Structure 1
Amino acid sequence: MNNIRINILFLAILFITAYNIFPQITEQSNGGKAVKIEEIDTAMKGVKAQDGLKWTDCAGLTIEGRGFTDTEIFYDRFPLRARETVDNNVWNLSRHSAGMAVRFITTARSISARWKLRNNSLAMPHMPATGVSGLDLYIKSGTQWRWMGSGRPLKFPLCEAELAKIPVSGENEFILYLPLYNGVEQVEIGVPADADIRPASARGRPVVFYGTSILQGGCASRPGMAFPAMLGRRLDLPVINLGFSGNGRMQPEVISLIAEIDASAFVL
């Protein structure tokens, strides 16, 4: 028992000492000024899109995760008429673009994006801005999808970033996931002026997922890490994410809307 008490006392003293000394060391090494992580690690800096790019509106490419066409904003998850039937929480969450993705084929060796966000809350205390309001790019390699880069939302409402340099030449297929806990009014993909870009082929009827926050994407660090997106890549199938954070309560009016979707399967 005495040994246990001594060990606890030793750890307490060690913690208090470190807590008091380390900030002093940091301040002295930086002249007493706070230093942003981007100044220490340049990899943390967002990369701006290059000048002279050719921009393509994603609405003209292959969009997956969109179950309805009669929406107020193109990237809403429920139709405008749902405003009169579902409760306010579900309606507001349906304005988030969770699960929506853009598939395209391009010869570009670099891919950029710019997107217009609808809400100025770029992040949450428990979820980073890259997941809440960012973009996430994957490339198809054989039968697998591999992560290429993400778009960090650095300001509101207009964001712009180079997503990735592409290490392989020729035509490649990509999928770009949209924000999980924010809405978007417009998304564009930028490629060099001499690169071709076109929609990818449709993949058939989607798998529809219905649930709450974990399904919507909380608290994934990137949109492509929400589990419906992961399953979509694994199965090479389109998915529709109808996760409503804290509000997946099987309300009849919500289920009636979901039943309108021509799906290959429903996961409730």
Structure 2
Amino acid sequence: MYSVFPRRHFLALTSAAAASVALPTLLHAAAPEPKVEDNVAWYDVQEWGVEGKGWDDAIRYYDRLPGRAEKKVRGAVWSLSRHSAGMLTRFETDAPAIHVRYKLLSNSLDMPHMPATGVSGVDLYARNEQGEDRWLAVSRPAAQEVNAVLVNDIDPRPNGQPRLYTLYLPLYNGVDKLEIGVPKGSKFAAVAPRDEKPIVFYGTSIMHGACASRPGMSISGIVGRRMNRPVINLGFSGNGRLEAEVGEFLTELDPAVYVIDCLPNVDGPVVAEKTEPLVMQLRKAHPDTPILLVEDRTYTYAPFKKSARARHEGSRKAFRQAFENLQAAGVKDLYYLPGDGLLGDDGEAATDGSHPSDLGMVRYADAYVPALEEILNKK
């Protein structure tokens, strides 16, 4: 099946797609043993795990690639893989307050165009009575070690039962240790990572999370919530380059769909050289797994810069040609999402002309979710 998805067609389907999502029964993990300090019961997240982690043989628990990758991928990719982008953990509690303490890998807490809340913060969502995950609180890291009351004065549920929470990990920093605390005596249940096949994203700084104000506002975070499905975020800032070395590790995963969103980091000649080999590498390992190829977003300053327009024209022409070549070669379950509308058409959705703001992240998700829903509904 070969499809090219026009963005505006899918925007019209977003609400219906979201409304059709069914909420599966939660699978609770074995009850973790808390460590009680100053009347706060602390639970180590590593005891029940995170989603968004594709391998069990990482050097550090919250790394995104296995230790074996260190000597196979370029150094920049390896370094960026230590960031916890896309990871989340879930738990239930009836606690009126939620504490968090964690140690970050780096003391570089923010970037000039991205706040510490997005780079190094943890982001808490709570499930409401309608079954929707809604934002509740975000940490505001001011040092490499964070110990804070994330939120207090939480209303109890009408039925008195524990509430489901989702905590998103930092986008552009790594985590050495993460604990969640609740007042002593509160109910607490760890929710095991879902075993559904994930959506696997391979991309650039945009997929990595730049420049979301907080982790839950990344593309992968929004898509995961809207589709109620696990995601694995393999966005590598400045280094989503369609590389076979990364592809080797992608083939080790068993996703519901692969998403290749690397065009912002590669020009036309590189696209022409590397797109087809990467797709064939994935297809050889996974003959029936859908693959979605995604064009680059349009720079919001492109109307004023010929060089920007030329960059888009060159990379997209090569990408579309690769897609058509793969079609002609009989590659099945291959899909294509144009990039012109990913940030909208008003020029207001990027922080620096390139990286999405929160508005831009929402618009990306508006394009992604209906396309992915249609792909997965065909399987």
- Indicate the structure with greater strand content: 1
Q: Tell me, yes or no, if structure 1 residue 231 matches structure 2 residue 218.
A: no
- Mapping 1:1-268, distance limit 5 Å: 51-141=38-128, 142-156=130-144, 158-165=145-152, 166-169=154-157, 170-203=161-194, 204-268=196-260
Displacement of 1:201: 4.5
The TM-score, its normalising length taken from structure 2, stands at 0.56
Check whether the contact 1:130–1:152 (CA below 8 A) recurs between aligned residues.
yes
The percentage of counterpart residues that share the same residue type is: 49
Could you give the per-residue CA deviations for residues 25-78 of structure 1, whole angstroms, max 9, x where no partner exists?
xxxxxxxxxxxxxxxxxxxxxxxxx94200000012341000011000000000
CA distance 1:236–1:115, change in 2 (3 Å): same
- DSSP 3-state at the match of 2:222: helix
Q: Structure 2: where are the runs of 5+ without partners?
A: 1-36, 261-379
For residue 247 of structure 1, what is the amino acid of its counterpart?
Answer: N
CA distance 1:62–1:72, change in 2 (3 Å): closer
Q: From the CA coordinates, give the structure whose radius of gyration is larger.
A: 1
Measured in 1, the distance between the counterparts of 2:247 and 2:116 equals 30
**How many residues are paired up?**
218
Could you give the per-residue CA deviations for residues 195-251 of structure 1, whole angstroms, max 9, x where no partner exists?
121222543221111100110100111000001100100111111110000100111
Check whether the contact 2:48–2:192 (CA below 8 A) recurs between aligned residues.
no
Measured in 2, the distance between the counterparts of 1:108 and 1:238 equals 26
Higher relative contact order (CA 8 A, sep 6+): 1
Displacement of 1:175: 0.6
Could you give the per-residue CA deviations for residues 155-187 of structure 1, whole angstroms, max 9, x where no partner exists?
12x111111222233311111001000001000
Q: Structure 1: where are the runs of 5+ without partners?
A: 1-49
Measured in 2, the distance between the counterparts of 1:201 and 1:100 equals 13
Measured in 1, the distance between the counterparts of 2:215 and 2:240 equals 20
CA distance 1:95–1:201, change in 2 (3 Å): closer
Measured in 1, the distance between the counterparts of 2:91 and 2:245 equals 34
- The aligned residue for residue 288 of structure 2 is none
- DSSP 3-state at the match of 1:124: coil
Measured in 1, the distance between the counterparts of 2:232 and 2:156 equals 30
Measured in 2, the distance between the counterparts of 1:224 and 1:167 equals 22
Check whether the contact 2:99–2:147 (CA below 8 A) recurs between aligned residues.
yes
